[in-house]
Amino acid sequence: MNSFTTKKHPRIGSKLALTILPLAVLSTLALVSDTAQAAPFALPAPLSFDAGPLGKLNVQGVLSGYGVYQDNKFAGTGNPGNKYTSADISNGQVIIQKNSGLVQFYLQAGAYNVMSLGANFVSTGTFTQHTFGALPVGYLEIAPTDNFNVQIGKLPTLIGAEYTFSYQNWNIERGLLWGQENAVNKGIQANYTMGPVTASLSWNDGFYSNRFNWVTGALTWAINKENSVFFQAGGNMGHTNFAYSSIATTPLQNNESIYDLGYTYTGENLVVTPYVQYTSVPASAVNAYSGITNGSTTSTIGAAVLADYSLTNTVSVAGRVEYIANSGNPNNGAANLTGFGPGSHAWSVTVTPTYQEGGFFARAELSYVDASMPSGFGWSGTSGVGGTQLRGMVEGGFMF
């Protein structure tokens, strides 16, 4: 979903990044080296009420906003185009769910914005309208047993180590690898748990394309209370030449195959998740959507480490380090899957200290992206010349 452009701001450059980022990396590594359960950034216990024939329902919600400054101008002329700063609502959502009995449901409604490393922002109203709408997630669930259920509707993806909405993640922004992963899809999903093993299988529309030819699956094995491994895979079983959503449906990724393999350590104060990712888009899709006639099969390979350390019951620090490479080169018909151009590679580091007490939270974030051949993002220089982006963010709000 990284499909926007930025422009270079001459006043802050690589010297500041080279001063700040090593300190951020060292701080993160110091946290990760401690063998200490990091509390996830989660909603408080729900409010419950008796809904008569519907039974007991739970209600939760989140209202939050963000501010951002970056050393590359936001692209375009609309909000926040041609500026170095932006502020908007990040979440204004209410969740109503029934999670007991044979027939259950989950409804999540409201406004939201998804911020991604290296990508431009659009206003929250535009993002909500042109992605998943005012009801981004909503599904009916049939649960005949405690360890088996079937869900149908608008479902969260099975792919990746990060979730769609900012309040669900340790970091405010999604990372570089998230750009190759879908977020919400329409379809049907079966989930089964047997002892330490959890398996899910879904038939859906991939990148919200409204064409039901994707299959995704996820398998997690909890080795013990501290260690687990996961494997996720998905892909288009045919070919999709239809874009239902102008932002959520990225045509190249909607025709890809994707594989994620990862591990999670959950300690007393620390959670660490390293994972690797591989994607591949066939030449037929590259020809159809890249504006070229000699398209070749194009792939990406990436790796990431995400960590969160709880300093106290209210203060935690999260860190993320990533690397991703786009195969090919600008002359052999390869596609631009990452946004940085065929043959490019990029790495990033993100540090996010967070304060949460009850329903209130506030956090700051510093992120840095370094990419070769950043043609798709409008950074300074020509093809083959590297580019960087330094971004600072704050987010705060209330949850219930």
Q: Which residue has the higher pLDDT, 154 or 244?
A: 154
373: left (phi over 0), alpha (psi -120 to 50) or beta: left
How confident is the prediction for the chain on average, in pLDDT? 86
pLDDT at 376 over 80: no
CA distances from 136 to 13, 41, 294 (A): 37, 20, 37
pLDDT at 288 over 90: no
Nearest to 371 by CA among 301, 324, 321: 324
CB 216 within 8 A of CB 157: yes
Is residue 57 within 8 A of residue 101, CB to CB? The reply is: no
**Listed residue (239, 244, 189, 253) closest to 215, CA to CA:** 189
Residue 92 contacts residue 125 (beta carbons within 8 Å): no
pLDDT for position 290:
77
Q: What is the pLDDT of residue 22?
A: 40
| All residues at 6 or more sequence positions from 245 whose CB lies less than 8 Å from its CB, including other chains | 130, 131, 132, 208, 209
List, for residues 90-105, the tens digit of each pLDDT value.
Answer: 999 999 999 999 999 9
How confident is the model at residue 375, as a pLDDT?
A: 58
Of 285, 294, 281, 207, the closest CA to residue 241 belongs to 285
pTM of the predicted structure, to 2 decimals: 0.87
Measured in degrees and rounded to the nearest 5, phi and psi for residue 284 equal -60, -40
How much is the pLDDT for 2? 42
Q: How confident is the model at residue 348 (pLDDT cuts 50, 70, 90)?
A: very high
The answer to whether 286 and 292 are in contact (CB under 8 A) is yes
Nearest residue to 278 (alpha-carbon basis) of 239, 327, 319:
327
Total Cβ atoms within 10 A of residue 388: 21
pLDDT at residue 79 in the model: 60
Please name the residues in contact with 297: beta carbons below 8 A apart, sequence gap of 6 or more. Answer: 280, 281, 282, 283, 286
Tell me: pLDDT of 274 over 50: yes
Please give the Cα distance from 398 to 301 (Å, whole number). 37
Give the Cα separation of 347 and 325 in Å (integer): 9
Strand, helix or coil at 126? helix
- Work out the widest C-alpha separation in the chain, in whole angstroms: 65
The strand ranges marked E within 205-297 are 214-222, 227-236, 257-266, 270-281
pLDDT given for residue 76 in this prediction: 56
> Could you say which DSSP state residue 47 is in?
E
Per-position b or e across 288-303, b if 16+ CB within 10 A of its CB: bbbeeeebbbbbbbbb
Position 352 scores a pLDDT of 97
Residue in the block written with tokens 């065929």: 342
First to last CA, the chain: 29
- Compute the C-alpha angle 367/370/375, nearest 5°: 120
Measured from the Cβ of residue 45, the count of other Cβ atoms closer than 10 Å reads: 9
Q: Does residue 75 carry a pLDDT above 80?
A: no
Confidence of residue 320 (pLDDT cuts 50, 70, 90): very high
Neighbours of 54 (CB within 10 A): 12
